[in-house]
Structure 1
Amino acid sequence: MSPGFFSTILPLVSRLGAAAALVCALAGCGPRETVVERGNRDRVLYRGNATEPESLDPYLVRGQVEWTIVGGLFEGLVTPDAATMEARPGVAERWDISPDGLTYTFHLRAGAQWSDGAPVTAADFFYGARRMLAPRLASAHPENNLFFVKGARNFQNGKTTDFSTVGVAAPDERTVVFTLERPTPFFLSALYLFFPVRQAAVEAHGAMDDRANGWTRPGNLVGNGPFTLAEWSFGQRIVLAKNARYWDAANVGLEGIHFLPIENAQVEETSFRTGQLHLTSTVPFSKIETYLAQADSPLRQVDDRGVYFYTVNVNKAPLNDKRVRKALAMAVDREQLARAVLKGGRQPATSFTPSGMGGYTSRAHTNFDPERARALLAEAGYPGGEGMPPVELLFDSREYHRIIAEAVQQMWRQHLNVQVTLRNEETQVLIATKNRMDFHLARGSWNATTYQDPFYFLGAWQTGALYNEAGWANAEFDACIAATWTADAAAREAAFQRAEEIFLEETPAIPLFFSTQMYLASPKVKGLLPKPFADRRLKVLSLEE
């Protein structure tokens, strides 16, 4: 569905009321059989999905809410192993890498089909690359995959209109070739979220680069993944059905999946306890300690290699002064936030990049130092917070984000005498607000769902990068990121260290904590490994009665 549709309808919908009604409706399936019991029998999984997806277009989705569903509808050249996260064959049955590390040649399996029965060919990946890089589509995804390909960045940025300058080729129906700008050891895992799209299916409903194209609506969407889109009832459910034409359908354990957009964590947890859900998207803070104390707890905790932060609009007063930004960052007691507010399971983030990411751990840190924070604020002309212009913090309409925002708001009031107002918006509306740069501070989070490298976290803050929602630009930082493209491990490490030092000093974002994925899972769900996003590897999940 188009972003315009959501921005129109969302303000009219009461999310909590809809969620409560949803639970009541689900409970009506009969007093002797819960939804979960029926699902176990029919091999249909019921799961909370936090909120309504913004889109199901694989080149426009932004959050885990969407990626979980899209990952069931499409399959790329390679796919992550559920246990090791290493690249395994997807549509490509094998691949070759040239000795210089610049050319990747993928050989497609003969049996791959689209859900309408057409064969998946190399042309579908070539078209997908061209569409993802289309300037008017303005996809943010190339930052983490196709921008490693020769000429891709220049094409999307409009520096050339000649797609033949981009290092993507389909020499025959079953061969896809990528030529890279420079050796990129993690390129295979960078392709985990690059999916093919079928030209005829897309252009039957609009232009290739039209963001409002309706090709992903029920009845229109043609995918090549283990599931198909059977239903999308706004505010109620998204239903996936097993794709009988998927090349590995024999090893897909579920017949279907219901995704329920329950934003309220308390309602979702109640749904789980009463047998209405197999999986939740989160756990209420107030229930974490209770579940931790249980012997056979359904609570799952997995380090998801992510960071939770507040993006700072560096072009909006008073945050255009880096001393104000730094003061706000230093006035957050992350230890207290992780321990007392989040109830454990998260680590304080004094750097932006999670420790150990690709063997890298930042030496630079932003520590809790309220005295220094007050001094910086005074230097900026706001002693004791006096005269500080209004600042607003924007966050998603979920209890989880509200509790965190209220805790940080109180810390700023206590340590800086700064009054920050809070505003919550539906996720899709929040994204649009950030795109317009109509904010002071805004909630954000990143997870390394593909390659495990510091570039994933720091590279996205380069000048003009689509994920750089702060409007921040720093030439020295850009030069450091460019310097990371070297085979010299020591030089690469030094470049990342300096880049992170600049980032923390300039503070275009305030890191709060390194996230842990926490959710509730029925013991009837099989295939859940203690790995990041194991609940989102839909193909390997199954149910037992």
Structure 2
Amino acid sequence: MNRYFCLSRSILATAVFLSILAYPAQGQPAEEKELVLALSSLDLEIHPHHSIYAQEAQILSGLYEGLFSYNHATLEPVRAAARSFNRSRDGKTYTFYLRETARWSNGDRVTAAHFRDAWLRMMDPKVKAEYGSFFDIIAGARDYRSGKTRDASQVGISVIAEDVLQVTLEAPAPWFTKLLCHHSFSPVHPSMLEVRDWTARAAAVPCNGAFRIESAGPKGLTLRKNEAYWDAATVRLPGIRVVAPESPEEASRLFNNGDIQWLAGDVDLESILYRDAIQVNPMFATHYWFFSCRSAPWSNPAVRRALALLAPWDEIRSRQFYLIPATSLVLPVEGYEAPEGIRKPDADRARTLLSEAGFPNGRGLPTLRILLPEGEGAARVVDLFSKAWKEALGLDVVVKTLPASRFYGSLRSADWDLTLNTWIGDFADPLAFLQMWTSDSSLNDAGYSDPEYDRRISESSRLEGEDRFKALSAAEGVLLDSGTVLPIYHSLAVNILDMDILEGWYPNALDIHPFKYMRVGSPKALPNLVLAD
């Protein structure tokens, strides 16, 4: 999933090393239990089939619920709309039994057909759902998504009874229940199945999660507890108000005043008075640059690798700017050994590759077009790339910026050659980063296509444990060696909240925090201070 913003090393250093001293102005009164959450933007996609941003995923975690959801402390999958399930001996067929009490916010029962129909829509090639390729794990899904077959009965999703859903996979996948936590696997109410724009009628959208939408507008988003939710008795928050302060300084002021309990957007960290409120933790996320592979000469892996071998990587990935420099796309998880990637320049090898590709010493290479979202703060890296390529090859570089709201929608066009992204793994597995680069992935903005890479990813689906991780690592090696993806750093999650006040919030690698477990408590009184009534 895409991240809205990134923070410099100096700001992160402030968060990590200055978590000391003063206590802020006291928070909201003990009797006020509504949660106020501040984000960077209120331009939020609430349709679970078309949401790709991290901040949207946080909101969707409260509105919709799939068969499984995340444990708030460990991120392990827990049964949600599914009360139970069983798996066949060959590990390929899952049968899910829905809760009899699972209801939409309008009172309608959540049925197996709602899941089937929503998932089939996700695979519909006309819909072009961003996470459609996540469903390729299901038997027949890839052919249905690619349009090779329009017969939905050939897809391994069956409604056995009103409350029984059966899913058959292409191959055993022990991590399948982790994938089912993702919001793209949520059901959709039949009344909304053919509606693309949910924003205009947000308050009328039936939700099956712990909350429903009360109102949505340019000044804020308000959620209310869904009294029809199957587990409503355990939900402590009566409501959530989502705001977007006008500036990082304004966000910090509102938090210091106790007007915001959780600040998850842009923030002026140095202005936060209560340093212990600055929560910093490693994320399953990577910031990287990548080439468009859609047109020559950048479609040639030799050309891409040559430019990568001319980049001053020690300067680009300097610890002066990044706390966790990255040479691989996947942040290593337990048992996964990341490939080496491109760690240092090799000018001689770069010139050899260019000569073999028909561009001796770079002669004949066109101007390289870099596309960036506004406010990304990438000028230093752009300058290092540009100077290295200009000095070595005489290559010209031009930079174009777009508003973030238009930037990601423009990546499938042909008017750029190099851009950047910060990707957060949607589930705790290397495949969350690697599946998106397969030739037919719905997330493959680069247009990257390599039969060897596809073969290795496909091969990994038939393996388990250490063998599976080795296959995935080999696939990542192919991707990195092609010069398509240029990792820069692994990200840190930065949230501002007093964990003694916002109960049920836990730091985690996906930076997803299910609302249903949260409760707004009372601020503590420090010695010699008395809280006003």
TM category (shorter chain) comes to: 0.7 to 0.9
Stretch moving more, 165-174 or 366-375: 366-375
2:87 partner amino acid? I
Distance in 1 (CA, whole Å) between partners of 2:422 and 2:216 is: 26
Stretch moving more, 223-232 or 502-511: 502-511
SS at match of 2:181: helix
Alignment deviations for residues 59-88 of structure 1 (CA, whole Å, 9 cap, x no partner): 111111211111111011111111222221
SS at match of 1:366: coil
Alignment deviations for residues 126-174 of structure 1 (CA, whole Å, 9 cap, x no partner): 2212221222111132322x22111111111111111111111111111
- Give ranges in structure 2 of 5+ residues lacking alignment: 1-23, 523-533
TM-score by length of 2: 0.84
In the TM superposition, what is the alpha-carbon distance from 1:262 to its structure 2 partner?
4.6
RMSD over equivalenced CA pairs, Å: 2.9
Change (3 A) 1:334 1:189: farther
Distance in 1 (CA, whole Å) between partners of 2:464 and 2:237 is: 46
Stretch moving more, 239-248 or 296-305: 296-305
Distance in 2 (CA, whole Å) between partners of 1:311 and 1:54 is: 25
2:381 partner amino acid? V
Change (3 A) 1:423 1:270: farther
SS at match of 1:339: coil
Counterpart contact for 2:98–2:112, Cα < 8 Å: yes
1:130 partner amino acid? L
Change (3 A) 1:395 1:48: farther
Q: Which residue number in structure 1 is paired with residue 157 of structure 2?
A: 168
Distance in 2 (CA, whole Å) between partners of 1:61 and 1:442 is: 21
1:135 partner amino acid? P
Bigger relative contact order (CA 8 A; separation at least 6): 2
Distance in 2 (CA, whole Å) between partners of 1:101 and 1:115 is: 34
TM-score by length of 1: 0.82
Q: Which residue number in structure 2 is paired with residue 127 of structure 1?
A: 117
Identity of aligned residues (%): 26
Distance in 1 (CA, whole Å) between partners of 2:170 and 2:398 is: 45
Alignment deviations for residues 357-397 of structure 1 (CA, whole Å, 9 cap, x no partner): x6212233111327468747974788888875433333333
* 1:298 and 2:277 aligned: yes
Q: Which residue number in structure 2 is paired with residue 248 of structure 1?
A: 231
Counterpart contact for 2:70–2:181, Cα < 8 Å: yes
Counterpart contact for 2:25–2:256, Cα < 8 Å: no
SS at match of 1:341: coil
* 1:229 and 2:229 aligned: no
In the TM superposition, what is the alpha-carbon distance from 1:528 to its structure 2 partner?
1.8
Stretch moving more, 172-181 or 131-140: 131-140
Q: Which residue number in structure 2 is paired with residue 471 of structure 1?
A: 447
Which aligned pairs between 1:280-359 and structure 2 lie closer than 5 A?
280-282=263-265, 287=269, 296-316=275-295, 319-330=298-309, 331-333=311-313, 337=317, 339-342=319-322, 344=323, 347-356=324-333, 359=335
Q: Which residue number in structure 2 is paired with residue 438 of structure 1?
A: 415
In the TM superposition, what is the alpha-carbon distance from 1:421 to its structure 2 partner?
3.9
Distance in 2 (CA, whole Å) between partners of 1:115 and 1:371 is: 61
Counterpart contact for 1:302–1:530, Cα < 8 Å: yes
Distance in 1 (CA, whole Å) between partners of 2:37 and 2:224 is: 14
Change (3 A) 1:522 1:383: farther
SS at match of 1:219: helix
SS at match of 2:202: coil
Change (3 A) 1:230 1:323: same
Q: Which residue number in structure 1 is paired with residue 488 of structure 2?
A: 512
SS at match of 2:59: helix
Alignment counterpart, residue 379 of structure 2, candidates 377, 401, 406: 406
Which aligned pairs between 1:129-148 and structure 2 lie closer than 5 A?
129-144=119-134, 146-148=135-137
* 1:151 and 2:146 aligned: no
Counterpart contact for 1:242–1:255, Cα < 8 Å: yes
* 1:195 and 2:195 aligned: no
* 1:37 and 2:35 aligned: no
2:517 partner amino acid? V
1:222 partner amino acid? P
In the TM superposition, what is the alpha-carbon distance from 1:112 to its structure 2 partner?
1.1
2:240 partner amino acid? I
Stretch moving more, 220-229 or 248-257: 248-257
SS at match of 1:512: strand
Distance in 2 (CA, whole Å) between partners of 1:35 and 1:178 is: 51
Alignment deviations for residues 29-64 of structure 1 (CA, whole Å, 9 cap, x no partner): xxxx999526x6422222222223452111111111
Counterpart contact for 1:103–1:180, Cα < 8 Å: yes
SS at match of 2:60: helix
Change (3 A) 1:493 1:529: closer
In the TM superposition, what is the alpha-carbon distance from 1:514 to its structure 2 partner?
1.3
In the TM superposition, what is the alpha-carbon distance from 1:512 to its structure 2 partner?
1.3
In the TM superposition, what is the alpha-carbon distance from 1:511 to its structure 2 partner?
1.5
Q: Which residue number in structure 2 is paired with residue 461 of structure 1?
A: 437
Alignment deviations for residues 222-256 of structure 1 (CA, whole Å, 9 cap, x no partner): 1100111111113x212111111111112112122
* 1:183 and 2:163 aligned: no
2:99 partner amino acid? R
Which aligned pairs between 1:351-430 and structure 2 lie closer than 5 A?
351-356=328-333, 359-369=335-345, 371=347, 375=351, 379=355, 389-398=366-375, 401-402=376-377, 405-417=378-390, 420-430=397-407
Distance in 2 (CA, whole Å) between partners of 1:407 and 1:377 is: 27
Counterpart contact for 1:113–1:245, Cα < 8 Å: yes
Counterpart contact for 1:394–1:441, Cα < 8 Å: yes
Change (3 A) 1:150 1:214: same
- The count of corresponding residues between Structure 1 and Structure 2 is 490
* 1:110 and 2:86 aligned: no
Alignment deviations for residues 232-288 of structure 1 (CA, whole Å, 9 cap, x no partner): 113x2121111111111121121222222358545433443344422222565x847
2:156 partner amino acid? G
In the TM superposition, what is the alpha-carbon distance from 1:177 to its structure 2 partner?
0.9
2:74 partner amino acid? T
1:162 partner amino acid? D
Distance in 2 (CA, whole Å) between partners of 1:360 and 1:535 is: 22
Change (3 A) 1:489 1:262: same
2:261 partner amino acid? H
In the TM superposition, what is the alpha-carbon distance from 1:502 to its structure 2 partner?
1.4
The structure in which a higher percent of residues are helix is 1
Alignment deviations for residues 489-509 of structure 1 (CA, whole Å, 9 cap, x no partner): 554344323312211121222
2:57 partner amino acid? W
Distance in 1 (CA, whole Å) between partners of 2:269 and 2:274 is: 15
- Give ranges in structure 1 of 5+ residues lacking alignment: 1-32
Distance in 2 (CA, whole Å) between partners of 1:35 and 1:442 is: 44
